[in-house]
Amino acid sequence: MHNTWLKKNTYHHSAFKNIKALVAEKEKSGLKISLCIPTLNEEKTIGKEVVLFKSELITKFPLLDEIAVIDSGSNDRTCEVAADFGALVYRSAEILPDLGFKKGKGENLWKAVYQLNGDIIVYIDADIKNIRPHFVYGLVGPLLLRPEVSYVKAFYDRPLVFSQGVRPSGGGRVTEILVRPLFSLFFPELAALIQPLSGEYAVRREVLEAIPFPVGYGVETSHLIDVYRRWGMNAFAQTDLDRRIHRNQETRALGRMAFGILQTFLTRMNKLGIVSEWPDMTSVLLQFQAAGDEFEQIEYDIPEDERPPMIDIPAYRERHKSS
C-alpha cells in the first residue's frame, strides 16, 4: 500500500510550474484560495514572504485571492511590516473574542478558518529564508487537479541519487525520533508521509472546518490522524519543495515540542478507543540545566488544549454558511 500511495500521491513542485494553467483550473472550479501566514515576532522574514507571494501569485498570476497574517501577539514590527507590504493582518486574540485567546500556533491556524474566505487555505510558516512561489503553487496544484485530494503536505530536501546509492530523506529530528515511530506502530499508512510535521500545507475548507485543532505543538499530528480516520489515505498528497532554510531549534526546545505532540497523540489514542483506561497525564515537562556543579530542575507547563471543529461554532456557521 505504501509504495502504491507514494507513486500516486507524491509530487515534485515542478509538476505545477505552469501557474497560468492552475489559475485556469481555479477559475473553472470557482474556488477561492487564501494564504495564511501565522506569525509571532517574524519581522525579519515576513516582508519578503508577503512581497514575493503578492507580486507573483496575485499581481502576475491571480492564483491567490488573499494573503493574510494571523498574529499571536508579536512585540516586534511583524504586523506593521506585513501590512506595509500589502498583507491583511489580523491579531488572533481579536478573532472570535468571545471564545478567548489561547497561546499557540494551532490557535492561529484555527482562527484563520473563521477569518479567511478561501475554499482552500494554504498555511506557510513565516520564518522561511529561501521562500519561492512554488511553496504555494506546489501545494495547491494537487487540490486543483485532483478533486479527491483534500490535504497536501510539503516535504523538503529531495532525495538525490548518487553513484553510491540514494541519500536517505525524511523529516526533522522530532519526526524521525518520535512521530514516525508512533505512526509506524499505530497508523503505518501515515508513515508514508515524508515530513508529517512540516508547517506548509494546503487544505480544503470542508476538511478544516470539520476537525478539531490542538492549539499547541500537536496540531499537525492531530490533523493527520483525524483526516486519515475520516477520509483515508487517498485524501492526502505530498509535494517536494526541494529545500527549506529556516531557524533550527536547540534540542531542549525540540524536547518541549515532542512532549506536546506526544500528549496530543496519546489523547487521540484514548478518544479513538485504541488504548483504553488511560491514566490522567501531567502537562508538566521536567528539564535540567547545569549551574556550576549543581543541576537545576526546570518545569515547563505545556498544556495541549484543543479547539473544537469550527463548524460547531455558531458564529462560523453564520459567517460562512449563510451564502
H or E element at residue 321: helix 314-321
For the packed helices 105-115 and 219-231, what is the interaxial angle rounded to 10 degrees? 50
298 pLDDT tier (thresholds 50, 70, 90): confident
Nearest to 60 by CA among 128, 133, 114: 133
User: Given this model, what pLDDT does residue 169 score?
Assistant: 55
Instruction: Give the DSSP per-residue string, 139-151.
Output: HHHHHHH-TT--E
Using the predicted structure, report yes or no on whether residue 143 has a pLDDT greater than 70.
yes
284 pLDDT tier (thresholds 50, 70, 90): confident
d(CA 28, CA 197): 32
Using the predicted structure, report yes or no on whether residue 2 has a pLDDT greater than 90.
no
Residues 6+ apart with CB under 8 A from 3: none
Q: pTM of this prediction?
A: 0.91
Contact 226, 209 (CB under 8 A): no
Burial (CB < 10 A; 0-12, 13-18, 19+), residue 131, is buried
Using the predicted structure, report yes or no on whether residue 197 has a pLDDT greater than 80.
yes
Contact 186, 224 (CB under 8 A): no
Contact 136, 64 (CB under 8 A): yes
165 pLDDT tier (thresholds 50, 70, 90): low
> Quick one: average pLDDT of 275-289?
81
d(CA 314, CA 139): 30
d(CA 126, CA 148): 29
Q: Cβ of 4: how many Cβ atoms within 10 Å?
A: 10
Beta strands 66-71; 88-91: pairing state: parallel
Domains in the chain: ranges and CATH: 2-248 (3.90.550.10)
Q: Which residue has the cell 485504541?
A: 274
Using the predicted structure, report yes or no on whether residue 252 has a pLDDT greater than 90.
no
162 pLDDT tier (thresholds 50, 70, 90): very low
